[in-house]
């Protein structure tokens, strides 16, 4: 059953991405100032949504683990954080390329960029911690605490730098005030978001399966050594 | 935790803080290492930047907090690590003192130690970099106290978390520094402003709130979760 | 026709995104294979110890 879900999600994600790729490259009109590179936003922004959500999902999963002590929630938190790290890397990479062309600089310490970088560092620290602990229960317990602290931190970082220097483009989506995109150009962002969420779900399911295999190996090994 | 009276909680906290401080003052290892490290950084930075230049005005706050956080790492690492010998950590956990009291006691001790190192470093900074901030000493002291509390709360918490890990010395900074970003940013901005003559006014009040909020939120979170970390 | 200004950089941007996704998927695939091999090995070891016992 689960394999079927994975397959369907994969096909859905691939389908939407191909359709949108066609849309983005051939149908959409040109933007006045930036040239072709503005089309990168159609991967950059959906990746941000997907990568950021990882935090809150991992927070919920970690909290649930601490309450229920069921290791499958820990496996879920780890899988979600790892997949979110991949998406956060995409955000930073595409953002840096765009910034180099449009602003002339690879990096600047503005609100959103700093938030994303801190986000990335916290994810990476979480994964490094998991690698440093062998015992499953201890690993689950400690990484749950790190996840909770990390998520709180990101919220603080986000709110506090909203009042700081802002070089990053302001909100352009029409759902937030000050929208600046023509109506026909906004669609692909949401479609791509859906596609990336499907992709993320597929990756999380695969990763979780690997966590379960890993735990099975651990328990079998323990059983074998008890003979 | 059961029914613990506030009085006995405070007693336990202060007892543990006093124990850590007493133990540290006997050897002064961490204090000396920490202070020496911060002096070295300050000296090296004075080679990199011309102390009298305009450039220094803008980075003074940042430099100061960089020095404080690196020096702090030395003190914080030892905080729970010193209990590993002779199973002192197990003894501490199985004592009647609640985990929250153990944590707060150690945080308090680390806070005092780090403040000592910081105030000494501040003096060195004022000398090397010819910085005059006597007029706003009160505000600066407040910012330093708040920032230091933030560093010690997170640092002590993660010292407890990483105490049993193989790569403790590497994991502690890796985990702690990203988390400290909001507090350090706030402290750096406020310190730079204060050292250059701008008092805490309408514009940088937000950073003071961020710092206070950070301290408040994480103090509570840490006391809540220290049980999970230490005991399980 | 698509705007030609900065076209090559758009390509780099898209390429970066896809390379990262592909790299992660490849990493997952390698990890999966290694885990399955380990699982088979441990299962075999368990059978052998059961036979001996």
Predicted pLDDT at B52: 67
pLDDT tens per residue across span A65-77: 999 999 889 999 9
Long-range contacts (CB closer than 8 Å, 24 or more residues apart) made by C28-34: C28/A203, C28/A206, C28/A207, C28/A210, C31/A210, C32/A206, C32/A209, C32/A210, C32/A213
Stronger pLDDT, A37 or C15, i.e. the higher one: C15
A166 has pLDDT over 50: no
Provide residues of B within 8 Å CB-CB of chain A: 154, 157, 161, 164-167, 171, 174-175, 177-179, 181-182, 185-186, 206-207, 210, 213-214, 217-218, 221, 225, 228-229, 232
Mean pLDDT along residues A141-151: 93
Residue B1 is assigned to a structural domain of this protein: no
Per cent of chain A over pLDDT 70 is: 82
Per cent of chain B over pLDDT 70 is: 98
CB pairs under 8 A between A and C: 96
pLDDT tens per residue across span B176-217: 999 998 899 889 988 888 888 777 777 778 888 889 999 999
* Cβ <8 Å between A145 and B165: no
* Cβ <8 Å between A97 and C17: no
Q: Which residues of A touch B160 (CB under 8 A)?
A: none
Predicted pLDDT at A28: 66
B164 has pLDDT over 80: yes
**Total domain count, chain B:** 1
B142 has pLDDT over 80: yes
- Categorize the per-residue pLDDT at A174 as very low, low, confident or very high, splitting at 50, 70 and 90: very low
Name the range with the highest mean pLDDT among A13-27, A39-53, A206-220, B100-114. B100-114
B17 has pLDDT over 50: yes
Mean pLDDT along residues B64-72: 92
Q: Which residues of A touch B185 (CB under 8 A)?
A: 160-161, 164
A58 has pLDDT over 70: yes
Neighbour subunits, B (≥3 Cβ pairs < 8 A): A
Predicted pLDDT at B84: 86
* Cβ <8 Å between A133 and B165: yes
Predicted pLDDT at A178: 42
Neighbour subunits, C (≥3 Cβ pairs < 8 A): A
- Categorize the per-residue pLDDT at A27 as very low, low, confident or very high, splitting at 50, 70 and 90: low
Under 8 Å between Cβ of A204 and A149: no
Tell me the three state secondary structure of residue B109: helix
* Cβ <8 Å between C3 and A36: yes
Predicted pLDDT at A167: 46
- Categorize the per-residue pLDDT at B14 as very low, low, confident or very high, splitting at 50, 70 and 90: very high
B124 has pLDDT over 50: yes
List helix spans (H) across B28-136. 29-48, 54-81, 88-94, 99-128
The answer to whether chain C touches chain A by having 3 or more C-beta pairs less than 8 angstroms apart is yes
Predicted pLDDT at B127: 83
Predicted pLDDT at A177: 42
Per-residue exposure over B148-173, b if at least 16 CB sit within 10 Å of its own CB, e if not:
bbbbbbbbbbbbbbbbebeebeebbb
Predicted pLDDT at A148: 94
Q: How far apart are CA B153 and CA A205, in angstroms?
A: 36
Query: How close A222 comes to chain B (CA, Å)?
Result: 21
* Chain B residue at shortest CA distance from A161: B182
How do the domains of chain A map onto residue ranges? 43-166+182-225
Q: pTM of the predicted model, to two decimals?
A: 0.86
Domain that holds residue B89: 6-230
CA C11 and chain centroid, separation: 24
Q: Which residues of A touch C21 (CB under 8 A)?
A: 86, 90, 199
**In 10 A of CB A93, how many CB atoms?**
20
Predicted pLDDT at C2: 57
C5 has pLDDT over 50: yes
Predicted pLDDT at A170: 55
Closest alpha carbon to A155 in B113, B179, C38:
B179
Lowest mean pLDDT among A45-49, A99-103, A160-164, B74-78: A160-164
Neighbour subunits, A (≥3 Cβ pairs < 8 A): B, C
* Cβ <8 Å between A141 and B179: no
pLDDT tens per residue across span B26-65: 989 889 999 999 999 988 888 887 766 777 777 888 888 9
Which residue, among A59, A66, A138, A149, would best test binding to B if mutated, counting the most B CBs under 10 Å from its CB?
A149
Query: How close C8 comes to chain A (CA, Å)?
Result: 8
Q: What is the DSSP letter of C2?
A: -
Calculate helix-pair angle for A187-225, A2-22, nearest 10 degrees. 150
Mean pLDDT along residues A174-188: 58
């Amino acid at each position: 059953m689960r394999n079927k879900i994975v397959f369907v999600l994969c096909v859905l994600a691939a389908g939407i991405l191909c359709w949108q790729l066609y849309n983005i490259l051939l149908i959409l009109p040109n933007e006045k100032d930036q040239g072709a590179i503005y089309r990168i936003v159609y991967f950059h922004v959906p990746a941000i949504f997907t990568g950021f959500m990882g935090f809150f999902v991992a927070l919920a999963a970690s909290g649930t683990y601490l309450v229920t002590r069921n290791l499958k929630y820990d496996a879920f938190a780890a899988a979600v954080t790892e997949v979110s790290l991949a998406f956060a890397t995409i955000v930073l990479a595409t953002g840096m390329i765009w910034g180099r062309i449009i602003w002339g600089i690879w990096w600047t310490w503005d609100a959103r960029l700093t938030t994303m970088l801190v986000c990335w560092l916290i994810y990476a620290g979480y994964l490094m911690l998991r690698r440093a602990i062998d015992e499953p229960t201890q690993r689950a317990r400690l990484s749950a605490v790190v996840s909770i602290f990390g998520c709180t931190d990101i919220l603080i970082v986000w709110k506090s730098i909203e009042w700081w220097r802002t070089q990053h483009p302001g909100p352009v989506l029409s759902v937030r005030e000050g929208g600046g995109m023509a109506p026909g150009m906004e669609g692909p962002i949401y479609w791509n978001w859906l596609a990336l969420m499907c992709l993320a779900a597929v990756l999380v399911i695969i990763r979780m399966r690997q966590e379960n295999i890993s735990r099975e190996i651990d328990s079998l090994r323990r059983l074998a050594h008890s003979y | 935790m059961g029914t613990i009276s506030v009085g006995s909680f405070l007693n336990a906290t202060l007892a543990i803080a006093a124990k850590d401080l007493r133990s540290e003052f006997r050897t002064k290892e961490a204090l000396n290492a920490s202070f020496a490290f911060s002096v070295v950084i300050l000296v090296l930075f004075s080679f990199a930047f011309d102390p009298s230049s305009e450039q220094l005005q803008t980075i003074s706050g940042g430099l100061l907090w960089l020095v404080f956080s690196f020096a702090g790492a030395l003190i914080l690492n030892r905080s729970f690590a010193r209990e590993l010998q002779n199973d002192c950590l197990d003894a501490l956990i199985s004592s009647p003192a609640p985990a929250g009291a153990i944590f707060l006691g150690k945080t308090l001790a680390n806070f005092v130690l780090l403040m000592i190192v910081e105030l000494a470093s501040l003096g060195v900074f004022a000398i090397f970099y010819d910085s005059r901030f006597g007029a706003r000493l009160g505000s600066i002291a407040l910012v330093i106290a708040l920032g230091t509390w933030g560093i010690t709360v997170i640092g002590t918490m993660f010292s407890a978390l990483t105490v049993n890990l193989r790569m403790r010395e590497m994991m502690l900074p890796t985990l702690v520094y990203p988390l400290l970003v909001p507090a350090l940013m706030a402290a750096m901005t406020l310190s730079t402003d204060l050292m250059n003559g701008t008092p805490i006014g309408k514009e940088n009040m937000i950073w003071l709130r961020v710092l206070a909020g950070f301290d408040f939120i994480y103090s509570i979170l840490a006391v809540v979760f220290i049980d999970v970390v230490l005991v399980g | 026709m698509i705007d030609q200004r900065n076209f090559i950089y758009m390509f780099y941007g898209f390429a970066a995104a896809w390379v990262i996704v592909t790299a992660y998927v490849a990493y997952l695939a390698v990890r999966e294979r290694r885990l399955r091999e380990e699982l088979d090995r441990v299962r075999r070891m368990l059978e052998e110890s059961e036979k001996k016992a």
